[in-house]
Chains A and B, each alone.
Chain A
Amino acid sequence: MSVRVSRRSFLKLGAAGLGASSMAMMGFAPEQALASIRHFKLTGSTMTRNICTYCSVGCGMLLYTRGDGAINVIDQVYHVEGDPDHPVSRGSLCPRGAGVLDFINSETRVKYPEVREPFTNEWKRISWDEALDRIARHMKDDRDRNFETHDDKGQLVNRWLTTSMVAASACTNETAYLTQKIARALGMLVVDNQARV
């Protein structure tokens, strides 16, 4: 079940009288009427529930997106605030969480796969296929060359120590589980994460 809440149910949830958002609708001429009150910027948006990506309190977040999920629109998050139902955060967000919009929409998001060739000074945009083909080739070449079936005492160890993997701190458990499964199947031991750092 998706908890992405449609506009209609958002209204039903009782998040205030959104219908009466525009003073102009009430028959006032805008400049005379109350240009001082800003148009309510959440009217008509889609609200999706999420959990903050920063620290381990795990505050509830409401992500407001432009677009209603119709096929002809690319949704974009344009406002974030706290989820008042969340038993820990009760609607609050700290300065990091309150500013998470500028992380989501940061100009320094990576947008395309890129490669920096040895000894060069630039990024080169490449396709996903090229990127993953080349990485898989590197991995296999190294694994085939350096895989240890036995250690120097002749004990069976079946491990690959020359490529390391450091895992994220904010990815999902499902991603983490897939990572664990793959890393051990490859025989990797040099695996760590950002706990403690």
Chain B
Amino acid sequence: MRGDQINLQNIVARSASITPSPQVRQGGVEQVTKLIDVSVCIGCKACQVACMEWNNTRDEVGHCHGVYDNPIDLTAESFEVMRFSEYENEEGDLEWLIRKDNCMHCAEPGCLKACPAPGAIVQYANGIVDFNSEHCIGCGYCRAGCPFDIPRYSERDNKAYKCTLCSDRVYHGLEPACVKTCPTSAIMFGTREDMLDYGAHRVEHLKGRGYENAGIYNPAGVGGTHVVYVLQHADKPEIYSGLAKDPQISPAVEAWKGITKPIMSAVLGASVLAGFFHYVTKGPKEEPEDDPDPENAGRAREIDRHDGEDRP
């Protein structure tokens, strides 16, 4: 958790960039991980409040939708929300499963791969995937590329936002705001090794209490995540308000993987540049037809539609 894990020298991946980041000083940096133990969470939303307080965001005062969830979904000002689901198990007993939903900080981040704006999304050597808002062009591809549907677009400044894992705090040797405030230690933070050890211990504890399928959620499809869950029913992640069972980066986004290949870079560079000019001349929203990949374009169209619904 040393502060020097996040700095220019320690960026391991950068969106839509042609030149590689400096690599030499990445050795010895510890990977960090946030562990969310759903079995200990009481759904108090302290994390949501601390997140807004630290990040100086204030979402709308919305409405009650007949459930405890509020705000009802992630927004550009709510980087995380608690999702409540009432689940009746095989024995017919009621379980109230409460999951903190926020960026998973994937080891192979789909958002970063999908992002056409150079340097708008970066991944640090410690595992944090951060949005560099200065460079964001507001195209929304990051959301399309995210297997967890996390980033949200702000109409105020036409940029995308998500949890930064409090990179500003972590840089200064502190834990993220949600972690610090959590009343029941449902959210823990530390090196990846320590968190996976602690998670394994918690899983054993839960098994001892009869949760035979307890496990750690650290999906391989995205190379593992720097936010992991301890679930009582790891065999059925979908019962936790639709947590993806086997998240994968969409094949369309995988196409962007060529990003670092020299042969592609010129083409991509041109395409990104084209997108950028489009942004400058026509506004923040990328028109789907501008996308070189037809499937990607379809996704982007879908996002536009959703965004329209989300906003009053």
Contact = CB atoms under 8 A, between A and B. Distances in A.
Given A16-B173, A35-B132, A38-B167, A95 B46 contact: yes
Given A31-B134, A41-B168, A16 B174 contact: yes
Contacts of B169: 40
B3 A20 contact: yes
Interface stretch (A77-85, A122-130, A153-161, A167-175): A77-85
Contacts, number: 89
A183 B50 CA distance: 41
Contact of B8 (A18, A28, A38, A99): A28
Nearest to B50: A98
Contacts of A131: none
**Which size bracket describes the interface of B in this complex?**
20 to 34
B130 interface: yes
Given A36-B131, A37-B168, A91-B180, A17 B49 contact: no
- Interface majority SS on B: helix, strand, loop or mixed? helix
A35 B3 CA distance: 16
Contact of A38 (B3, B44, B168): B168
A40 B49 CA distance: 19
Given A41-B168, A93-B50, A95-B48, A34 B177 contact: no
Contact of A81 (B132, B134, B168, B177): B177
B202 interface: no
A98 B8 contact: no
A15 B49 CA distance: 22
Contact of B130 (A20, A36, A82, A91): A36
Interface in A1-53: 15-18, 20-21, 23, 26, 28, 31, 33-41
Contacts of A99: 49, 53
A31 B181 CA distance: 32
A31 B171 CA distance: 18
A95 B167 contact: no
Contacts of B8: 23, 28, 33-34
9 A-B pairs closest in CB distance: A36-B132, A16-B173, A38-B168, A35-B134, A98-B49, A16-B172, A98-B50, A99-B49, A95-B46
15 contacts: A33-B8, A35-B134, A36-B130, A36-B134, A37-B6, A37-B167, A38-B168, A40-B171, A81-B50, A81-B177, A95-B46, A98-B46, A98-B49, A99-B49, A99-B53
Interface of A: 15-18, 20-21, 23, 26, 28, 31, 33-41, 79-82, 84, 91-95, 97-99, 101-102
Interface of B: 3, 6-8, 44-46, 48-50, 53-54, 56, 122, 130-135, 164, 167-169, 171-174, 177, 180-183
